[in-house]
Structure 1
Amino acid sequence: MRFFSLLVAAGLAASMVPGVLAQEAQLYRPGPETSGTIKVWTWPNNDRTFQALMPAFNEAYPNIKVEVQGFPNADNNYLNTVQRALLSNTGPDVAMIEIGVLALLRERPQWVDLSQDPYNVDDVIDDFAPFAAGNVTLDSGKIVALPKHTGPGGLFYRRDLFEQVGLPTEPTEVEATFSDWDVFIEEGKKVVVPNERWLLANGMEILSTMMAQKGVSWFDAEGELQLDDPIVLEALTVIDKAADAGLISPFNMWSPEWQGAFGRGQIATIMSGNWFGGLLKRAFAPDDAGKWGVASAPADETGNRSFNAGGDHIGILETSQNKEAAWAFVSWIVTDGESLRQQYQNDDLYPAWTPAGSAEWINFEDPYYDGQNVNEVFADVQANLIPATLNANDNIVGSAMETAVNNVVQGVATPEEALAQAKTEVAARL
């Protein structure tokens, strides 16, 4: 007898039934009587997100105990921990997968195939953002995980700092002012205070955003390296101009100095995915409600401002001794209306589950952004972004290009020299 109970009937409106989102297909979830203890692995600050969701989860599943463990840094310490677990057939019941390392992990046979009975996710996979669904679906048809959130990108900016220097503070006016990358650099000089305040947190923002706007990844779909694409050198040249103008902070990404600079008001903007707002709210600048706004990034020459920057996924390991409870947790986390509402409104995590796009709660006046409805920015980005192509060697190229960007910013290499050095490093490691 199948242990799954029907979660949602087609056409049921989210605004009418709490915790339920409208959908065309049917998704099955274990019944509320499901019990057991499961272990979930993730990274900071997602561990805190899960902990905050436990009261709501346990209203739906009072007999499931979830033990959440967070390991630092989704793409190194955490990645290494998960890889060791997969190789030794040990580990948790449920594990998160960050988009940057998904290609490294998704071919491992230790993931439960969610296309199979009793999960049958292939029946509803079209209700996830298409590019996110494609990332977790192998050529064989196996679905290794569920997309949890995507990373539609934007320009986070300090309203108060912009006002101080005479720049506009409303999102549409910011977008009009920062119409392209050249204007962004020229107008951005106004916020700079030498050795005290900078426009940009790190040069990699420019490279990542410009490449994503063009739909260029480190590798193409055939696995060919893309460092010869003109946009790479073009972006390094823009970074060089920004560095010469003193716009880029000297702090290494994710260092304590870099994180603290946001709360100290030393960084006026950052181009990142929607999720970065959760870090501002919870960790980097929790006392700065009302000081931040979100606009679209500067446009390329075609007018495109959209880019994806991040995303995460969640899967079940074959070694789990309680797959029923694990599936209850996974399916609730990524499709339940109350789960997605809390994650979006509290942590700025953008749902990969597309029925959430029609929920009332996704359009709200967020006090952290001075009452702005930031979904007006991110919904448009989500609809128009060009998906990235993932490759198992992305971390090798990303590391080499981070060095290249730093060398340009520090003035120790020209864009051409830095790119040549990166190509040499990548060739040696592949």
Structure 2
Amino acid sequence: MTSWMKASAAAFAIGFGAMLSPPAEAQNAPDTQISGTISVWTWPNNDRTFAALLPTFNKAYPNIKVEVQGFPAAKMAYLNNLQRGMLGGSGPDVAMMEINMMALLRDRPQWEDLRQAPYNAGEFISNFAPFTVANVTLPDGKIVALPKHTGPGGLFYRRDIFKEAGLPTDPEEVTKLLSDWNAFIDVGKKVAKPNERWMLANGEEIVRAMMAQKGVSNFDAEGNLQFDNPVFHDALEIVKKAADAGLISPFVAWSPEWQGAFGKGQIATVMYGNWFGGLLKRAYATADAGKWGVALAPASEGGSRSFNSGGDYIGILKTSKNKEAAWAFVKWLVTDGESLKQQYQSDDLYPAFTPAGSSDWINYRDPYYDGQNVNEIFAPVQAQLIPSTLNQLDSAATLALQTAIDNVVKGVATVDEALAQAKAEVKAKM
């Protein structure tokens, strides 16, 4: 374990010890007499995750029927359907909120206040990661949802490709090798093959990681656009270096071609939250068990290697016809040990519920990663990450920034030109 990881792990252990107050309310025995049918709205692949969890849930609550509906995340279909349902009073009993939707959705009056009886979430909300608690708590104290999972980020890499290039494959050695972003580019030149294999899937991964490492969001707490912050210019310059060296794939992120590239061995590394491992295992690279490893992302100036990438939340709508059953499902989903274990080991979903960090199941040697305990990466990352500032125009800013990244990668705009255009696009919507 590197010195950074050891120091971070020590801080993580101290912080966890302070947060492990007994979650008495969360651990109450289930009331098997609660009955009825509830609807839950989410998106792929959460719909599959929930479906797989239901047999375990029904052992605790045999008389509750859960109907799960997943709306595609593409083109904001889920968000649009949920907003229409909330406004028209035809929404579900229970709904998910992805972190990028939080600023748009959390202030809506249609959410139940989980602080109030009979929920009383205030009695155990401190058992969730502090930044997730801040995301679900309004200025007046209302708790609109419970945190489900977080997205501590890392660098997923192909051990076999690194070995072929004559590079180390052990996670600790890869972490040392990719010490900073310039080192990442130097290593990428040894890995990439023109029109055949690339070091990185998309330049957006570099920008998002560098922003998070510096604690810079699209907007500051006062709602000011931050595209003039030096981190955006610096990150796009790294993207340009990587693109000029032929390290970035030509595939559009999340497109079928992009997804297929992982299973074909065309992508050597990818930087997202720990949840990306679930996509590799069950969708993108199902035949590649043992070929992947996880290391820390390259460090930005100042030494930070932590970044958050994703996370989601789950709440109850006031229009729910069976709030008792809805609450039983929500609380069980995000605090029950068996639920969290299954989500982590089957779908690589990192629990926001901090007492889970002391469980044996979160520190297991995963065969998909050649027996690596990837929590040795993700736990210190979560302990050191800087929370992002959420804004209702985050989606617009993200789209504008992605266009800027693509234009730099394609060489149709300089870094300054791309940022100026992105800034103008977002300013026009403010």
TM range (shorter): over 0.9
Deviation at 1:23, TM superposition (A): 4.4
User: 1:26: how far off?
Assistant: 2.3
Letter in 1 for 2:36: G
Q: Which amino acid aligns with 2:418?
A: A
Q: TM-score, normalised by structure 2?
A: 0.94
Q: For residues 177 and 32 of structure 2, what CA distance do their matches in structure 1 show?
A: 52
Distance 2:228 2:20 in 1: 45
Q: SS of the counterpart of 1:206?
A: helix
Number of the residue aligned with 2:22: 24
1:394-414 CA distance string (max 9 Å, x none): 011111000000000011001
Partner of 1:153: 153
Q: Counterpart of 1:368?
A: 368
- Equivalent residue runs for 1:199-278 within 5 Å: 199-278=199-278
Structure 2 distance, partners of 1:293, 1:246, is 23
Structure 1, unaligned runs of 5 or more? 1-20
Q: CA offsets, 1:175-211, max 9 Å, x none?
A: 1000000010011111111111101010000000000
Within 1, Cα distance between the matches of 2:315 and 2:198?
40
Distance 1:321 1:160 in 2: 53
Structure 1 residues 277-332: Cα deviation after superposition (integer angstroms, max 9, x where no partner): 01111111111110100000001121110000000000001100000000010000
| Whole-Å separation in 2 of the counterparts to 1:86 and 1:241 | 46
Match of 1:17? none
- Is 1:395 equivalent to 2:399 in the alignment? no
**One-letter identity of the residue aligned with 1:67:** E
| Structure 2 counterpart of 1:290, one-letter code | G
CA distance in 2, matches of 1:395, 1:22: 35
CA distance in 2, matches of 1:168, 1:77: 43
SS of corresponding position for 1:281? helix
- 1:149–1:349 CA contact under 8 A, matched in 2: yes
Correspondence 1:69 to 2:69: yes
Aligned to 2:381: 381
Residue matched to 1:115: 115
Aligned to 2:133: 133
Matches within 5 A, 1:27-426: 27=25, 31-73=31-73, 76-426=76-426
CA offsets 1:60-96 (integer angstroms, 9 cap, x no match): 0111111111111177110111111111121111011
Measured in 1, the distance between the counterparts of 2:82 and 2:263 equals 32
Aligned 8 A contact 2:20 2:127 in 1: no
RMSD of aligned residue pairs (Cα, Å): 1.2
1:7 corresponds to: none
Q: Number of residue pairs matched?
A: 410
Shift, 1:25, TM fit? 3.9
Cα distance in 1 for residues equivalent to 2:240 and 2:428: 26
Cα shift readout 1:85-109 (whole Å, capped 9, x = no counterpart): 1111211110110001110000000
For 1:287 and 1:36, how far apart are their aligned partners in 2? 40
Q: Matched residue of 1:238: which SS?
A: helix
The residue matched to 2:298 in structure 1 has which SS? coil
Counterpart AA for 2:87: L
Q: Please report the TM-score for the alignment, with normalisation by the length of structure 1.
A: 0.94
Alpha-carbon spacing, 1:22–1:56, altered in 2? closer, same or farther (3 Å): farther
- Match of 2:167, SS state, is coil
On the 8 A contact 1:211/1:231 being kept in 2, the answer is: yes
Q: Matched residues in 1 for 2:65 and 2:74: separation? A: 24
Specify the code of the residue in structure 2 equivalent to 1:135: N
Q: 2:74 & 2:213 partners in 1: Cα distance?
A: 24
Comparing both structures, which one devotes a greater share of its residues to helix? 2
Where 1:76 maps in the other structure, the secondary structure is helix
1:355 deviation in Å? 0.2
